[in-house]
């Protein structure tokens, strides 16, 4: 059933999660983020969903858009799912502040 979703739906899931991350972290400093366990866990969950959606995109979509680092996105999902007590929230903060918006712009061009 989950594989019945097409690329368009998966891209929308990615965009929705990026928007949620942006809203949840808006105005926060890195220290505030790292001390707010509810926001941290929410952001990790949204990153997990982004990775899961990316993992289920068609090979045609990923190959045609190889400028997007799909392996990195999917790899991050695997880390946050399997290393939940070993997550480096400083790294997560860097991803949120430096890499999420460029990903959003790339995904918007595909959607």
pLDDT tens-place string over residues 24-78 = 999 999 999 999 999 999 999 999 999 999 999 999 999 999 999 999 999 999 9
In a domain? residue 106: yes
The answer to whether residue 10 is catalytic is no
- Smallest Cα–Cα separation from 46: which of 71, 80, 75? 80
Out of 13, 67, 82, 94, the active site residue is 82
Total domains present in the chain: 1
In a domain? residue 83: yes
pTM here? 0.93
In a domain? residue 22: no
In a domain? residue 35: yes
The range of the structural domain enclosing residue 50 comes to 2-17+28-110
The answer to whether residue 82 is catalytic is yes
Neighbours of 67 (CB within 10 A): 7
Out of 10, 13, 40, 77, the active site residue is 77
In a domain? residue 90: yes
């Amino acid at each position: 059933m989950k594989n019945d979703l097409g690329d368009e739906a998966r891209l929308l899931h990615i965009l929705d999660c990026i928007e949620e991350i942006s809203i949840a972290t808006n105005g926060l400093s890195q220290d505030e983020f790292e001390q707010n366990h509810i926001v941290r866990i929410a952001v990790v969950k949204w990153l997990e969903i982004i990775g899961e959606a990316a993992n289920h995109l068609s090979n045609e979509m990923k190959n045609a858009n190889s400028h997007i680092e799909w392996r990195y996105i999917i790899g991050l999902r695997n880390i946050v799912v399997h290393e939940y007590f070993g997550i480096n929230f400083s790294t997560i903060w860097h991803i949120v502040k430096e890499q999420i918006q460029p990903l959003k712009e790339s995904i918007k061009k595909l959607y």
